[in-house]
Each structure stands twice: as C-alpha cells, then as structure tokens.
Chain A
C-alpha cells in the first residue's frame, strides 16, 4: 500500500463520524437479516481498520489475515446480537477484532512466534502510519495522541497496538501497576475529550 493509495480514503469514517456511524448501524441491522449486499458494504468500511489493528498487534501478515477473516465472519454470524445501547457499530466490530488479536497473542504459540518478529513499538511512525498520511482520522488521532504526556501515550500504544497487558506495560516502563492504570485511564479520557466522542 503506497501513500497515494486512493483506498485509504475509504477508512476515513471513524466512530466519531456521526453520519458514517448511523450508516454502519443501519448496515448491521441489514446484515443481521442476512443481507449479503449490506455485509459487502460493511466489509468495505470496516475490513481496513480491523485488519490494520489486528496486524499492529500480531505483526505477522498471514496470521493477521486469518484472524481478520474469523472476526468478520463472527460479525456476520452474530450481527443480530449487536446492541446499539452498548456502543457504536464500529466499536462493536473493533472490539471483537482487537480482542481476537489479543486472544491470539496470549496463546503461547503465537507469543513465541511474535517474540522473534518483535520490533520497537512505535505505532505512529511505522510503515502503516506513513501509508495513510492523508487520512483525516489519522491526523486527528495523531494530534490527540500528541496532546498526551509521554507516559500516557506510551502506556496506551503499548497496550492497544502492542497488545501488552497492563502488568507487562508496567514492567516495560518500570512503573507501578497503579500508575499504569491511572495513566491509561487519564490518557484515554484526554483523548476522548480531544476527539469529541461521547
């Protein structure tokens, strides 16, 4: 994927884009009724972010494809159980995606493999981030991440993109568990206010 990839613009509609979110919720309702066209549209909107976050966590492209397929199929299978009262449609799907990636990481075999491929976690400066420089979303998220303290940013990116548990993050950053909890929470609250999500 090159920086000029026109497909990148497809992923602009984030959870914070109200119009986009409404469409996604409607699409999910249709998916729940077995509408394959709706599922195709949902795929085009959410496969990129799902694959992206899974790849951040797992790193291995073929494993990431496998998990992405599992996740999207789970979305198809369980669409009727999406509950808008619990959060947005995008968040429902991304939560499944991230959890599946984490589950994979925490299983021993994957952990060993990942150890070998481990690279410094610098999520906003790797090839993936560079690829979609133009994305408004990415810019906004980057700006909001930049507004955090160094430790808040590190804790959040290690936990979310790195797939580390908060105990592991505490270990890596040599701080107490209590401090990590507070930093992650304070950092996310600051991000929330900066992004304007509710």
Chain B
C-alpha cells in the first residue's frame, strides 16, 4: 500500500503536464488529489511551471481569429457559477463560498460609483437638488432590508446591475459596457409585465468608467421583467424593437 501511494505521488508531474494515458487514469489520479493535500498543492505549483512553458511558446495568432472569437463570445451565453465545480471538496467549497459575494460586492461598488457620477454630472442648482432627491430614493433602495442584487448580460454585451427592493416595489439599475449607439438612438428601460409594459426611463450616457448613472424604477408589479431596448431619441411610449435584455424581477 505504501509503495502504491508513493507510486501515485510521483505522478504529480505527469498529471500537471496532462500526460497520463487515458481519461480513466486521469480521473483516478484526480480522486487521489482530493485526499492528498500535499499532492494537490504540488500539482498547483507544477502547473504554474507548465504555464511558463506555454508563455515561452507564445505565437501571435492570425488577426482574423480575434474577430471570430470576439464575435462568437458576443453571441454565446455564459454559464453561471457553480458550487463545487472543481473536484477538490474542502478547499473548493470554501473558495466558492466567497466568489458570489465578491462579484456582488463589486457590483454594489459599481452601483455606488454610478450614483456618485450621476450626482457629479448634475450641473445647475435645480439639477443638483433633483439629483439629491433622487439619490435619497436610490439610497433608500440600496439600503432596503432584503434588497436583492441581480445582474444580467444584454444580448449586445454589457451588464445590467440591479438592486431590487421587493418590499418597496422599486429597483435601481446601472449598465456597464453597453456598446455605443449611433446618433439619434437611445437605450430605454422598460418594466415589461404580463398586463402592460411601461417605460422606466432612458439609460443616461456612461461616465468615463463605462458605468452609467443609476436609474430608479418604481411601481414594479408581480411578473414584471426589466427590459432594455434601443429606441429612436428621445425615447418611445412603447418598445419598438426586440429587447436586448429581459430580466425577471423576483418579488
């Protein structure tokens, strides 16, 4: 048994180079890694060495590959995070515990930034007091007990980050990374409900960070989705194009 274990342990290098013979053998060793902390930490280090070998072999790919990959990504849906995806239970579970939290705190930070930008962009006194009043409402949503953080990618790219205060039937949304629109077009937000669709306002132009100032939407009803469309300026009463985002709002 001792011999067998030593034998397995020396496979760390072979495993790190993906040089085991069969998927079955790879699985068997991966199982062993679950139980052997020193093996898995050794594999991690040896894999970094393999990465250096890869960087040493870097070759500029043909330029058209870039175009193809970016275009393919733009039309490919991403997978959500998954707990315990990796086959290392103890470490894996703990590491995954904080990932959604981290993403959430980043998103929340970008929302706060967006609020500040909205504030800074207000020029006149009247705009300033409007901004102040709106910021108070936004702050109320952000700090509402049980507020939920939602995020979704639009079909044109860019991410909508939403804080939903279900009890208040209000939400705050900011967008980041939306593609720039041609002149005469605007992004318009909607509450798309089972009974009717109402405008939730235009998406303000993004600050230099690429994050748009926060927009507050009120009067959400059960079954509403947050929609986003491209409309002719200065916006329309009802959507005239296919939504590039339709995010269900859990009330």
In the complex the two chains form, what is the Cα distance from A158 to B207 in whole Å? 51
Q: Is A142 a contact of B56 with CB atoms below 8 Å?
A: yes
Q: Which 4 A-B pairs have the closest CB atoms?
A: A34-B153, A185-B13, A85-B95, A11-B58
Q: Is A76 a contact of B78 with CB atoms below 8 Å?
A: yes
A42 CB to nearest B CB, Å: 10
Q: Is B68 a contact of A48 with CB atoms below 8 Å?
A: no
Number of A residues contacting the other chain (C-beta, 8 Å)?
89
Contact with B along A125-162 (1 / 0, CB 8 A): 00011011001011011100000000000001001110
- A78 within 8 A of partner (CB): yes
Which residues from 82 to 122 on chain B have a C-beta closer than 8 Å to any C-beta of chain A?
82, 85-86, 88, 91-92, 94-96, 99, 102-103, 106-107
In the complex the two chains form, what is the Cα distance from A140 to B49 in whole Å? 12
18 A-B contacts (beta carbon < 8 Å): A11-B55, A14-B55, A32-B103, A34-B151, A34-B177, A43-B70, A47-B66, A49-B55, A53-B54, A80-B103, A81-B85, A86-B92, A137-B56, A184-B19, A187-B13, A188-B46, A192-B46, A195-B52
Q: Is B157 a contact of A36 with CB atoms below 8 Å?
A: yes
Known contacts A35-B176, A36-B177; A77 and B58 CB within 8 A of each other: no
- B18 within 8 A of partner (CB): yes
B191 CB to nearest A CB, Å: 22
Name which residue of chain B comes closest to A12, CB basis: B55
Partner of A29, one of B49, B57, B106: B106
- A113 within 8 A of partner (CB): no
A72 CB to nearest B CB, Å: 5
In the complex the two chains form, what is the Cα distance from A185 to B45 in whole Å? 11
Q: Is A91 a contact of B51 with CB atoms below 8 Å?
A: yes
Q: A86-B44, A166-B21 are in contact. List 7 more A-B contacts (CB 8 A).
A: A1-B60, A14-B51, A37-B177, A51-B65, A94-B51, A94-B54, A95-B18
